[in-house]
Chains A and B, each alone.
Chain A
Amino acid sequence: MSKKPARRAAAKRRVGSGARQAAGSPHGSALARESERALVEQIRRLLDLPPHERTHFLRVRLPNGGSAV
């Protein structure tokens, strides 16, 4: 059984999102910016509420040891 040539295997290797972000690709940075903007919006929404209404934080234990919101 012949092995695949190294050059062909390298050409087929896919580049993940982490690599794209590291390379400074515009896709990665746009996602990061959007995620940041959504987080700040969520924080502002929560800060608009009085403290006694910011109570939706409890996770529920599941029988197999995990948890869920």
Chain B
Amino acid sequence: MPASWRGGRHRPPYNELFDARRNTVQAMRNDEAKARRCPDGYPSRMNAAPLLALVSQVLVRHRLDAVVIGNAAAALQGSPVTTMDVDFMFRQTPTNLRKLKAVADDLEAMVLRPYYPASALFRVVRDRDGLQLDFMAKVDGVRSFEALKARATPVRFGRSTLLVASLRDIIRSKERAGRPQDLAVLPVLRKTLDEQEARKASRG
């Protein structure tokens, strides 16, 4: 407010003062919201890029071969789906299990086997921030790790690269798994695959 406005006949009408204050408060709220959001408008806590960069770096450091599968892979392939964890497929060998333990140590997490002995699932969990990485040796609808890896797409996060399973493999695994949560996302995944193929065809 200019100094000449304070008091007397130069005081602006109430509406102007009210509008100025309201605009200032709104601008402060906008700044706060902006600080909490990424430049593209999503809340920053939804962004998995820092997590994926960290995980890919640690996997490369310990030379653990793993392919991203599940809803995280589907999202990276362009499907509008969400998930709470990142799933990987790997080969269950004594060497890889040692590497997985080293990966968990680097992430300050622990390795759990929640469905032992029924399932070959190794869950890397960090309580501090709820980080959860599921490493599976067997996946419904996937015959071999080598075949999945051969069809996977390399995606660069930071300085390292993660292998992301193809959408066709993800759809097949969800069809075979047949759980309600898998069947619920199948129409969206199929539509994404159709769009991907239409784009490939249009490019020649």
* Interfacial residues, chain A to chain B (CB-CB below 8 A): 39-40, 42-44, 46-47, 49, 51-61, 67, 69
Contact = CB atoms under 8 A, between A and B. Distances in A.
Contact of A58 (B38, B48, B78, B155): B48
A69 B130 contact: no
A53 B157 CA distance: 9
Interface residues of B, number: 35
A47 B196 contact: yes
Interface in B81-106: 81-84
Contacts of B48: 55-58
A49 B164 CA distance: 16
Contact of B155 (A42, A52, A61, A69): A52
A46 B155 contact: no
A54 B81 CA distance: 11
B157 A39 contact: no
B45 interface: yes
A40 B191 contact: yes
B153 A51 contact: yes
B173 interface: no
